[in-house]
Every structure is written in C-alpha cells, then in structure tokens.
Structure 1
Amino acid sequence: MFDAQEDVRQDLAAVYRLIARFGMDDMIHTHVSARLPDEPDLLLINRYGDLFREVTPESLVVIDHDGHQARGAPVPVNTAGAVIHCCIHQARPDAACVVHTHTAAGVAVSCLAEGLLPLNQTALLFYDRIGYHTFEGIALDTAEQSRLVADLGDNRAMILRNHGLLTVGRTIGEAFSLMYNLEMACRMQLMAQGTGQTLHLPSADVCRRTAAQYDADPDGSADLEWQAMRRLAWLDA
C-alpha cells in the first residue's frame, strides 16, 4: 500500500544525500525541509548533528510551524533552520520543500552588489524569478521571518545576502533541481568573472524567452531528472 508520508521521507533524505554528494553541504549546518502530506502544519527536517550523508528517512524529525518537535523522542533541531524554513512553509502553500545552503560559490555571489547575473542558460532559469534578503545576522530571531517571506515573494529562489542560497519547490525534486542549478549558475559566474575579461550578457528578450522555456518544460525533463537523482542518492547506500 502506498504511504505518502514514507515517500516524502525517502525523497527528503535523498536530497540531503545528494547535497552532500555534490559538495553543497556545510558540515552539520544548513537544512532541507518538506511538508508532511495531509498534515500541512507539520514539517520534516534533519536531526541537528547528523552529517547530510548520514540522513535516512527514519532519522528525519517532525516539527510544527513554531519549530517545536511534534513527534518522537526529543532530538536537537537547529534553531536557525526552524526560523527560516517554518515561515516559508507557512506563508507559501505551494512550498512542498525548502532547501538552504552555505556553499562557497553561493555565499560569494550573495556578497556581490550585482548578485546573480544572467550570464548563461543555467542562470536564466532564475531571470526575474529570484528574491534578495538583506543579512540581519544569524537567523535566530522570529522577527526576521516576515521580512524573509516578503523578500522571497512568489519566487522559487532567493539569495540571502552575505549568507547563502535558498530554493522553494512545489515538489521535493523541484526544490533540489532549483538549488543544484542555482549553485551551478553561481560557480559559472565566479569562473567567468575570474578571467578578468569583459562579460557578454544575452539580450533581455532572450533572457525572458529562455526563462519561459524553462517554465514550460516541454520534454517533461523535471520528472525524469528527479527519478535519476533518486537513484543516484541511494546508489552507494
């Protein structure tokens, strides 16, 4: 019998392992969360202290929108993770999954006044579709939540200034794919800027057209990609 909550646990644990596999983890820090099916006020998040490659479906923790553990024996839950993720899930009914990273490339781009540039096909996935949130210190204060939500708006991605990257997916696979591509766009930008040569940007018309092509997904690549990533996540488990 199909168990929707077990399926979500499997997918979310896969994202943690994929983030580690692709070098986007930060020791035991940063977080990925997913909404529990049929229980919209409850989320799954990692047990604080686990390496991302150690996360299993069973080790994920159930929390409510206030960041309090709702089930199971008490375990550590990262306060900043709860502050960031809970408000986004609460404000965005479409937010099935939220991914947050502190990669070197993502943080570097977050420190640039110009932010993410529309330099290439990968970056254009986010053209006119990304928010920016001003750094306020470590996200421990719930007063910051309203500003996080406002700065994200209805976008599926946000750059947290001087901090890192965040993506929001209608599915767990979409949230991971957005983060992978946002990370790659940041790495590509830094490599191009590192040459010291003049950068060539596509026209605004081409940028808008490419972003719309991504939205349409005519080949159904999003689902095919996630099925492949699920297989990769557990390949060596």
Structure 2
Amino acid sequence: MSTADRDVRSMVSAEEWETRVNLAAAYRLVALHGWDDLVFTHISARVPNSDHHFLINPYGWMFEEITASSLVKVDLHGRKVMDSPDDINPAGFTIHSAIHAAREDAQCVLHVHSINGVAVSAQKGGLLPLSQQSIFVLSSFATHDYEGVALRDDEKPRLVQDLGEANFYMLRNHGLLTIGGSIADAFVSMYFFEAACMIQVRAQAGGAELVPIHPQIISTAQAQARQVTRGAGGGLVWPGLLRRLDRKDPSYRN
C-alpha cells in the first residue's frame, strides 16, 4: 500500500487536487467519528471539469489511511481512467454511479453502515421526528428497501426512483447515504443524519413515552436550517474540521 512513487498532484488540475484533499479528509473524518465499517463503505466525489469522472476509495484501505493521492479515478462504469495500483469495490460503486448519473447536483455521495443508522433503518417506522437533528433530515428524506448486496445493475433504476430529489437516503437494513453539492455539505448532512439516529435509539432505550415533533414544524425545517447556517452549513463547519484533522494527522493531504 503505497503511493510514494506516484506524484499524483503533478498529473491533475489544481481543482481536482483540492477535491482529492477534501475527499480524503472526509474519509478520515468518517473514521474519526466511528462511522466506518472496516473497508466496506464509500464516499465518492465528482471530478471538477471532467466528463463524468469520479474519485472513490481504493478497496482494501482503511479510512484512516486514505490520502489525496490514493483515491482512484473512475468513469460512470467503474473503469479506471487514471493509472492506479488499487481497485475499487464494485458493490460500492453500483449505488454511487446510479446516483451520480441521475443527479447532476450530486457532487458528493457519502454512504456509511453506522451502527445507529443501520439500527434505525431496520425499524418499521424508520426515522422518527424526535429531535432537532431529525427534522432537518426529514425535510429532504427518502428510503429504499433492501434487495441484497448492491451488485446488480437492474437495481439502479429503483435506487434512483426511490431517491427522487432527496438528499438524505435511508437504505433499509443497510445504512445511511447523503448527497451534497460539495463534500463538506455531504459530510455535515451525515453528521446530522447519524446524530438523529443515535438520539432515536437512545430515546427508545430509555423506555419512556416519546414526544414527536409536529409535522408542520418539519415542513419549515429547510428554511430554518438555511437561516441558521446562512445557506452554507458545510462551508461554515468544514474549515474547522480540517483544522482538527491537521492537528491530529495532516497526512491525508499527501
């Protein structure tokens, strides 16, 4: 596992390198928050100014090992468009490629098998309006029923149809997925998504009667979120997250 002999930065545009750094940071942050599942989930990002090219993790690397240079560049069919010693996980890219192809606004697709997320995805009622975090999620929310490990292309149309225009996607019995206009937005959305699931599981475990938030409040959540974050939730938080990573281990930038 080495990219030392590959000077990737000299082979790509400045815009692509910035995307690589931010995507590698997202992988490290997922690991830092404990949402990773060994090597079995994925975050993909669209390469700027490219003909439907995407960056995704090299299969077999732990998330805390991902660097900007190690990311694999592929096309919509998962074929490498830049030399790399590593392969990608075909099951992971089935989901990501379907969403990237259908949603031009999907600059980043982030998918995790977090324990709380999978737990809630297995509940018949799904995500409940129990917290402030949950209403931000439910204002742009969709679900997809489990069809087995995502290896078949014939599942793609159903994945896309069930998703629609939502940005928070619960894959039943499987995990959570967020879509962002930037890597930062996809990550911050996942933070709220996983937090909402964690709060729900803990509230249910307490055994007391639950108090749901009124549906009318959920309908205004998007406008409220924009007001609080000034329309730039990811951009507001991301610089601080990068500073945190740089203090811990800046090697993701390599």
Q: Same fold (TM over 0.5)?
A: yes
Task: State the match for 1:225 in structure 2.
Answer: 237
Task: State the match for 1:168 in structure 2.
Answer: 179
The amino acid of 1:106's aligned partner reads G
The amino acid of 2:236's aligned partner reads L
User: Which has the higher mean CA deviation after the structures are superposed, 41-50 or 202-211?
Assistant: 202-211
Count of residues paired in the alignment: 236
Deviation at 1:215, TM superposition (A): 3.6
Residue 59 of structure 2 corresponds to residue 48 of structure 1: yes
Task: State the match for 1:137 in structure 2.
Answer: 148
TM-score (norm 2): 0.89
SS of equivalent residue, structure 2 residue 220: helix
Deviation at 1:235, TM superposition (A): 2.2
Task: State the match for 1:156 in structure 2.
Answer: 167
Deviation at 1:212, TM superposition (A): 2.3
1 CA distance for matches of 2:153 and 2:233? Answer: 38
Query: Which of 174, 192, 197 is 2:203 aligned to?
Result: 192
Residue 63 of structure 2 corresponds to residue 60 of structure 1: no
Where do 1:9-158 residues align within 5 Å?
Answer: 9-158=20-169
Q: Summarize the Cα distance change of 1:191–1:127 in structure 2 as closer, same or farther, 3 Å threshold.
A: same
Gaps of 5+ in 2: 1-12, 250-254
Residue 247 of structure 2 corresponds to residue 235 of structure 1: yes
Q: Quote the RMSD (CA, aligned, Å).
A: 1.4
SS of equivalent residue, structure 1 residue 159: strand
- Equivalent residues of 1:127, 1:211 under 8 A apart: no
- Share of identical aligned residues, percent? 41
TM-score (norm 1): 0.96
Task: State the match for 2:8 in structure 1.
Answer: none
